Structure 1
């Protein structure tokens, strides 16, 4: 692409990045969105808990957003992967996998996180479809159904307590010896939670819709949904390369203005918060765009 210099480069063109670009486009800013086209919810069939878009397919939401953002002529798109970020005297340089180099005064990372999925057979096939991470996003659709949680110890106890709001037909799979306390075990059983300590072998499913959890002793537990919180890592290493701090959860540390600890570098969306939802991504992106524009104004006025 011919233009190489921008006010802002946004790395990550999903909900948060697109939302930020709309704020900046409406502020007459020259913006480049670099996106490699791999959103973390690409396997999820429907998005929920986002007003006006409840039940819509995630790809439809992002496609509509991109069409609307593209109407702002100062917003530009680059389909590719950013592989290097360097701080310069007057801003930043971003190099892409294909070798192109772009510069900007400010950078916004809206790069999300990468879930480190279990190697349980069938887990990845069901992820985002019937193996879920968030009851606020998906719990209503599987309310009162046979449901399992894969967790142990304090997390298992708290997760079971949370999910019991959506269903009482609940199993807690510790996937090995339970580390629940005696008191936690007693409370869970009093609330009808069945505890399975056997290790999990596989998920029996049809096109990602789980039917049974198969344990290594060949016992089965029939379920409609499974909740799990897999570990994750940052989807993009460039913030760390620039010196951006992570918090104890492994998320990019930002202040109330979506600023990282590195001057001129901002972050929004899933890479910054445990509340991973389209609504939150859109909100933080929109705010970050406004904040960046105000900082540019203050520098130039």
Structure 2
């Protein structure tokens, strides 16, 4: 059969798109390999009625709601190739299955590149986080470290100051801040350390000390890491869509890419806070655009 739409990626963007299209009586192939970026996180925040929910529980509830609609079919498999055809798209899975759809929504999200620091992996998602909107409340008033090798660390420090006044900024060996920026942060009592970090120390994923390459140590109870975020643009060459310099897929406000019939939802098309609520909203908009375009084509 030819589906009305194939959705690649079962995060909040893809799931919300499937929900909207299922309710619109569109046939949907929801293809997801069950490897969400937030799987290391113990709780997700900022989504009304689900604040503090475990990501796995969020997905369980979401899939239960989405798959109530009989026109939505879940394919728990990895996509290996997508090809644009005259009448739609052909999608090949790792199992050798061929899925054909009139439209495709890419909601494949982002991948995180974390700095190679001993101890970081065990603490990431437990006491070290990347989004203050998601986890700032839980770390409020604690002695925190901010780690980034990006010039945006200046604005990050100013923002996190709303949650805690006990901050130390670590640039991990990089000289990123101007004298004026250093003066402004230090005037607020924010210490700046440019020495490279050797390790994070603490039991059970809970940060206690930051250890530097010169063997100095500071005591901290948590903090924020700024990872590099790269789009999972696995099919850029095959599909030929336009993307920005940072790899984000170019799309209009409803998620239409520069390739006819191809839409994008979620973090791969949005530069801003990486939150469930933003991703879900973009999935809803992309689904509405798909339904609108299918309607116009069918009436024409």
TM interval, short-chain normalised = over 0.9
Distance 1:43 1:22, change over 3 A: same
Name 2:278's counterpart in structure 1.
280
Match of 1:265 among 262, 266, 270: 262
Secondary structure of residue in 1 paired with 2:90: strand
| 1:300 correspondence with 2:270 | no
Q: Does 1:189 align with 2:186?
A: yes
Q: Tell me, in whole angstroms, the C-alpha distance in 2 between the residues paired with 1:122 and 1:30.
A: 46
Residue 153 of structure 1 and its aligned partner are, at CA, apart by 6.5
Task: Quote the offset at 1:51 in angstroms.
Answer: 0.6
- Give the distance between the partners of 2:8 and 2:117, measured in 1 at CA: 32
Which residue of the other structure, out of 161, 164, 169, is the alignment partner of 2:161?
Answer: 164
SS in 1 for 2:40: coil
Structure 1 gaps of 5+ residues are: none
Q: 1:82 to 1:146 in 2, by over 3 A?
A: same
Alpha-carbon distance in 2 for matches of 1:287, 1:167: 36
What number of residue pairs does the alignment pair up? 298
Structure 2: unaligned runs, 5 residues or longer: none
Query: Cα distance 1:150–1:41, how it changes in 2: closer, same or farther (>3 A)?
Result: same
Q: Counterpart of 1:41 in 2: which secondary structure?
A: helix
1:24-59 deviation per Cα after TM superposition (whole angstroms, max 9, x unaligned): 001111100111110000010011111100111111
CA contact (8 A) 1:152 1:180 kept: no
The whole-number CA distance in structure 2 between the counterparts of 1:177 and 1:80 is 41
- TM-score (normalised: structure 2): 0.96
CA distance in 1, matches of 2:174, 2:68: 56
In 1, Cα distance between the equivalents of 2:32 and 2:176? 42
Residues 253, 209 of structure 1: alpha-carbon distance in 2 compared, 3 angstrom cutoff: farther
Q: Does 1:62 align with 2:59?
A: yes
Supply the distance in 1 between the matched residues of 2:15 and 2:173 (Cα, whole angstroms).
42
Equivalent pair of 2:230/2:246 in contact (CA under 8 Å): no
- Which of 116, 122, 127 aligns to 2:124? It is 127
Q: Aligned partners of 1:146 and 1:111: how far apart in 2? A: 35
The worse-fitting range, judged by mean Cα deviation, of 265-274 and 233-242 is: 233-242
The aligned counterpart of 1:95 is 92
